[in-house]
Amino acid sequence: MNFEIDDATHPWTWTDNEFDFIHIRYLFGAIADWTSLYREAFRTLQSDGWIESVEVEVDFVSDDNTVDPDSALALWGRMCKETGIKIGRPFTVLTDDVQKKGLEEAGFVDIQAVDYKVFCPFTSPTGIS
């Protein structure tokens, strides 16, 4: 098994059909053209290969409203989204359904999305840890 690391925003140096599995994660705020990224993945995947693209939201929210809209965590999320707009590299990958759209435009089929609720260790039921 080999793991390869490269700059995903440039044309990929690997040949067509090189990989049977590509794992991409936490690129929110780093990719301007998600369809181009996925086209490179599609090109370098074998015909029966798989891609896994994992992203998270930058907004911290809670089921019971314990994340105060004026908290540092909420401010961080707003600042990330504003920065993404300014630099042309969105942090709203899930909100804007960027992955599914880009994967479809790149030629992928049988796209499956799985959403997970993530526990944040930085907050407690009172909002303070």
Tens-digit pLDDT profile for residues 28-46: 999 999 999 999 999 999 9
pTM of the model: 0.84
Kindly report the CA angle at 29 between 75 and 4, in degrees rounded to 5? 140
The answer, yes or no, to whether residue 129 has pLDDT greater than 60, is no
* 124 class by beta-carbon count within 10 Å (0-12 exposed, 13-18 middle, 19+ buried): exposed
pLDDT, residue 104, reads 97
List, for residues 82-101, the tens digit of each pLDDT value. 999 999 999 999 999 999 99
The answer, yes or no, to whether residue 122 has pLDDT greater than 70, is no
